Copies of this chain bind each other. A is one copy, B any other.
Amino acid sequence: MSYRRASIIDLAKALNVAPSTVSRALADHKDISEVTKQRVTQLAKEWEYQPNHLAAGLRSGRSGILGVLVPHLTGYFYPEVVHSITSEAAKAGWHVMICESNEDEKQEAKSIALLLNAQVEGILVAMAQATRNTQHFDSPHRQHIPLVFFDRVPPKTTHSAVLLDDYRGGYNLTAHLLEQGYRRIAYLTGPLHVNSYANRYQGYCDALAHYGMPVDEALTYQADLNLSTGRAAMADLLLHSPRPDAVLAAKDTAAVGAMQVLQEHSLRVPQDVAVASFSHDTFTTLAAPTLTNIDHQCAALGRTAVRLLLEQISTPTSPQVARQVILSPMLVVRASSLAQKHLAPLVEVS
């Protein structure tokens, strides 16, 4: 009654052939006769033969596993990207092993080691926020395991990376608001020493400049963005006179906070004040009005990262030139930023 997994050797014995023949038959090798293949696959199915990945990997030196290391699996963004990564990898016949660094440098270094132990053939990383010393990212390379960054990259890295063009996103959002007729656009930014926040802000400034508008420092608000800082910022901004006619937030939760405060002051969105933001969490489509923002392209990000990695894996001889792929962000225009003139009939109704 005690059941043991069937091995290739078991199959070989039962069929009176050599293990190598079974192995080849199962791999659909060219020079195995159809008859033998039939017999082998038949019995394999009957016995529920499951190949032992560990043994195959040990022997062939190929694990067929890609490692993925993300800061965390909470919120909207990373789960979505990981989802895209696993699908794309599966399509190409690869497994994926996922680790979380929990935004911690120590755990990140440990995870890299863990993935290398698991004999992954390539690694995708979104760096932890806390990471200062980045030398643990070099060990894969020394073992000829390619590493590709996505979303979060160490400064001046020599690795390949897939990124979203934050500057372009800030520029496009601002240009959109200007084109809709908004003129006093407030900006809520996160800490400006964080690269992507700085880039978004620069895009905002440049767009204003491009349209001949001044950057009014009084309309820029820097904070660790979330719902309550978004609320506080908006409350502050409403004290200005003339008050801003649009608010651009570098994070969507802050935008929601701003919108709440506007509604509490009986200001209409978008007729009195437009709201727009970065990032693209589900709730932005649930807000009323729905929120204009930048689509972070999670799917494209994951897909591109996998392709880049597989490319590096398949060309181990090449000089491993680092390739930085910058994805263009997509502006998603929704109700919260549609100019007055478009909504004029509605205004008269209400």
Contacts and interface: CB of A to CB of B under 8 A. Distances in A.
Nearest to A143: B5
Nearest to A116: B50
Interface stretch (A90-98, A155-163, A323-331): A90-98
A241 interface: no
A227 interface: yes
Interface in A89-132: 95-100, 102, 113-114, 116-119
A48 interface: yes
A286 B256 contact: yes
Interface in A63-108: 63, 72-75, 78-80, 82-83, 86-87, 95-100, 102
A285 to B, nearest CB: 8
A53 interface: yes
A257 to B, nearest CB: 8
Contact of A50 (B48, B80, B117): B117
Interface in A164-200: none
Interface string A32-64: 000000000000000010111111011000010
A315 to B, nearest CB: 17
5 contacts: A54-B118, A73-B86, A86-B99, A227-B285, A283-B283
Interface of A: 3, 5, 48, 50-55, 57-58, 63, 72-75, 78-80, 82-83, 86-87, 95-100, 102, 113-114, 116-119, 139, 142-144, 227, 253, 256-257, 260, 263, 281-283, 285-286, 288
